[in-house]
Structure formats: C-alpha cells, structure tokens
Amino acid sequence: MFRKLVFAALAAAVFVVAPARAQTADARLKAYFEAEWERGLVESPEGASYNGDNRFNDRWTDRSLAAIAQREAADREALTRLKAIDRAALSADSQLDYDTYAWNLERNIERQKFREYLQPVGHQGGVQTADGIAEVLPFASVKDYRDWLARLNALPGVIDQTSVLMREGLKQGSTPPRVLMQRVPAQIASQIVDDPAKSAFYRPFLRFPATVPESERAALQAQAKQAIAERIVPAYRKFAAFFNDEYLPKTRTGIAVAEQPDGKAYYDFLARYYTTTDLSAEQIHQTGLQEVARIRAQMEQVKAEVGFKGTLPEFFAYLRSDPKFFYKTPQDLLTAYRALSKRIDPELVKVFHTIPRQPYGVRPIPDNIAPDTTTAYYQPGAVDGSRAGFYYVNLYKPEVRPSWEMMALSLHEAVPGHHFQFARGLELPERPMFRRTAYFVAYGEGWGLYAEQLGYDMGLYDDPYDRFGQLTYEMWRAVRLVVDTGMHAKGWSRERAIAYFKDNAAKTDQDIVNEVDRYIGTPGQALAYKIGQLKISALRAKAKAALGERFDLRAFNDEVLATGSVPLQALEAHIDAWIAAEQGRR
C-alpha cells in the first residue's frame, strides 16, 4: 500500500536536475504546511492549548454537525492542494514531509465514511472529563484566568453539541459497548457538586501565582463559582439524565467493532492505520501467538533464576499479591517513581549521542480519572518550550501497582521512551510544525516498547524481578495482538480476552480489566506497539549485521529519532539510507 521512499537517490536527482525548481516547490510546500498548521489550531482550540499556543484558550472546538462537515470538506480540499505541488521537484527532506502529510491526510479522508464523531464519549474521556485540559494551561496572568472563565461559560454549549451527536449515533446504530459506558455515569456525577469550590473546574482558582494581583483574585473566584453553579453543574445534570435514561440503555451489548455498521471494514482500516502496514487481522493474530510463546519461555527462565518452585501462573499470582512488591501509600509510590526516573537519567549517555534539551517531570494522574485509566501516560511539552513534558503515574490503589513493573514503565513513558521521542521531534531543524509534533502510533509506541528493552543496554535490569517486569510488559503488548484481533475479528468474548491475558501476563487484575476494556473502546490502536517494536528491533539487527564492528548503538538510536514520527516504511527507508552511508565511509 505504501511506496518505499528512497530519499538519498531522490535528493541527488532533484538537486542535479533542477535546483531552482526545487527551491520554488519547497517554498510552496512550506507555505502550504504553515497554512494547514494554522487551520488545525483554529479548528481545534484544545489542540492549540496542548501545543502551548494560547491564542484560543477561551474557546472549545465546534462540535456541531455543520462544523464537522466543514472540517471534513477542508481536509478533502487540502489534499487537492497538496497534490497540485510537484513532488518530483522537491528536495529529499521536503519529499518526506510531503509523503508523511499525504499519508495522514488520505487516511483521515478515508475514515470520514465511518463517522467516528457519532461516539464522542468513551469510558476514558469525553465531555465528562473536560476539566483535564487545565493540566496544560499556563494560569500565569489575569488573562489566563479570564480565558478559563470563558471556557467554563461556553462548556454547556459543548455538552449540548455532544448530546446531539450521541442522539444521531443512536439513530444510525453507532454506539459504544455498554460494558464500557457503564463506567461513565460515575464520571459525570463527579462533576455535579453542591459546593462550586470542590469542582475540578475550580482547581486553578485555589492558588494564584504572584503575577495575578491580589485585587483581582476574589472577583475571579466569584465568577468561577457562579459559572460552575449556574451553568456547568446544571449542564452536567441535564447530560446525566440524558446519558443514564436515554443513551446508556440503548448502547450495544456486544463488544466487537464489527457489529457496528460497516464494522468489519472499519476494523481492517484501523489495523492498517495504526500499524502503518498492510498486515491483516489474521497475520497480526498469528504474530501475537508466536511472540507470546517466545516471551513465555523467557519468563520460565527468570522464574527458575529466582528459585520459585511453582508453575508460571502460580508465579504470576505471587507477583500480584505479595506485599513486598507494593507501596503502602500513594505518596510513597509517587516518591519511588520520581527516584527511579533520577536513576535512569545518568545512564542515557550509554545509548544516545543526542540528549534532548527539553526537561520532563513526574506527576500523579488526576484522581477523577485514575480509576478508569492506564497505569501511566506521557504528556508532551509545549512547542515553544514554555511547558516541560510530564510523565503521569497512576496512584489509585497503590496495592495493585507492583514495584517490579516500574522500571519498564518509566523507560517507556518517560526516558528514553516518549519524552525522547517527542522532545527530539520538537528539535527537528527546519521541519514544518506538523512533523515536529507528529504522532504515528506504530512509530511512537513501537519506540516506547523498544525503549523498555534499552534498559538492558543501560545496565538497569540488574534485579531479576525488574527483568520479569520488562518481560511482563513485552508480553502485555504481545497479548494485545491476540486479544484485540480476537475480540474484533474472531468473535472472542470479553471474558475470554481477560482470561487469556491473565494466563500469560503477571499484570494485576485491575490493569488487565482496564486494558481489555481499552482495546474494546479503541479498536486496533493497541496493535501498533508490538508491530512497531518488532520493526525497530529488526532494523537494529539489520544495521548490526551490515556494519559489524562499526555498528554504533548510540548512532542507530539517534537515527531512529532523527526522522520524527513517521510511518514505518518511511523509517525503514531512512535507516537503509543511513546504513548505506555508514558502509560508504569504509
């Protein structure tokens, strides 16, 4: 499906034949990308906020059916304008930009027919968790607070638009699985408070920076309380009644996305989209089975090393339950995560020449979403460097957060995983903004899983239980290939998926249920992790075989990150060109 991009050869042809023509085409493409980036910021004020652009912090995305249709039409028109630029006249770097943008735009247009906007609420997020955006807002001036007040006052309109989309989804037979939606009423209820000062939306008003004058603070707090009491809480009460009484009873009882209108084609598309490959669901399922068998054999070896005499399932039960593997309080767990990150930092020079400049920190996942979300996640820093990247860790029920998983998790979510990936992307020289902030799941999550394994190269897995944690996390991603395709393409039940997961990984019951529900709610996304890691690992083996003693792991890792986030075939072409260049140095 994807063309192989031989950048070095194309670059030579372009510059020899028509350097002036290339310069003109490059300039046209640059102007196109600048206009497209600005369009994206205007269309998604929340996206602008996450990128550190504060111009639209007083508004939300227009979720009306008319606005959605306009955005879809704009995407189609943007592809026409892109195709009008002569790709052959571009420099090699610009050809990569062109192909990357075209790949994504073509698939955004292809997915329009599936009308994903008819399911705007999920168990891991939606309008019921709109307060979460405050985590990335500056709150450094009076204007910042007034912008937030404007968003608070506008939120009821967003909630109404969301209800309209959900009603249309009911008409079209497009609804999420009920087993997931049963988690949402409690999330909505948490926004319905008697005291506005206890609302999650009020948190920014609990403390003010010195840059907000004392004379302004009381008025800002009063306006926030008024907006919450008179607009936000009533809007959520109305939404709760609609959701609980009208929507939830009509959600689908099955879990497979194939049950939806055009569902089989949708899952096939999602598998291709997330993995950036042409692999079928059956091919992915078989790859998963093979990886599960391989990793299980390595787990048996570690079990023997630590002297455990029981079966592997009994070892899993021991790891899930022995108190010595768990911290007693959320604060103890947070302190341990922060200490672990400091342990990793000085070892990074063993596997990289280039260390990104942007710093990162460790924060707890907000309490209102912690019970229903993953063990951890990463939030990229602002494009302009005004906000660091943050590694968010789940402190809910520390008794189900084992210490042996923390090393692999931190390597994946923080350094050298997602933080390196996103921070290095922001440092790409002279690349358009979409390339510097791009996120292709197979590349990004494949890198995160590959980064877990770099812990061996950094000497961080000296504890056999930490090594078992790494294997558990790799198994987790292999199990995904089997379970995701099993549920959505092969008729597996949720219970069968949970049981298969428990039989093959030492993850705790809390995590396993949340993970399986995540695969149900976001079909295909979880396939990208192992597929991406297998590709990066294969490229490393290829480079090592080709270069022999001249292979430099630090240089290889730098080159994987040098492209920014791209489809896997583009990454392979880049590494092939790098190998050829290194061979030419002999």
What kind and span of H or E run contains 408? helix 406-413
Rounded CA gap, 238 and 227, in Å? 16
Rounded CA gap, 30 and 466, in Å? 46
Rounded CA gap, 95 and 72, in Å? 25
pLDDT tens for the chain, 586 residues: list them: 322 222 222 222 333 334 445 559 999 999 999 999 999 999 999 999 999 999 999 999 999 999 999 999 999 999 999 999 999 999 999 999 999 999 999 999 999 999 999 999 999 999 999 999 999 999 999 999 999 999 999 999 999 999 999 999 999 999 999 999 999 999 999 999 999 999 999 999 999 999 999 999 999 999 999 999 999 999 999 999 999 999 999 999 999 999 888 999 999 999 999 999 999 999 999 999 999 999 999 999 999 999 999 999 999 999 999 999 999 999 999 999 999 999 999 999 999 999 999 999 999 999 988 988 889 999 999 988 899 999 999 999 999 999 999 999 999 999 999 999 999 999 998 899 999 999 999 999 999 999 999 999 999 999 999 999 999 999 999 999 999 999 999 999 999 999 999 999 988 888 899 999 999 999 999 999 999 999 999 999 999 999 999 999 999 999 999 999 999 999 999 999 999 999 988 6
Rounded CA gap, 292 and 470, in Å? 14
How far CA 566 is from CA of 155, 436, 437, 578, 581, in Å, comes to 35, 10, 11, 16, 21
The answer to whether 390 and 360 are in contact (CB under 8 A) is: yes
Length of the chain: 586
Which residue carries 């979720």 as its tokens?
Answer: 63
Q: pTM of the entire structure?
A: 0.89
Which residue carries 């302190």 as its tokens?
Answer: 335
Amino acid at 42: V
Rg of the chain over all Cα atoms, to the nearest angstrom: 24
Q: How many CB atoms lie within 10 A of CB 167?
A: 14
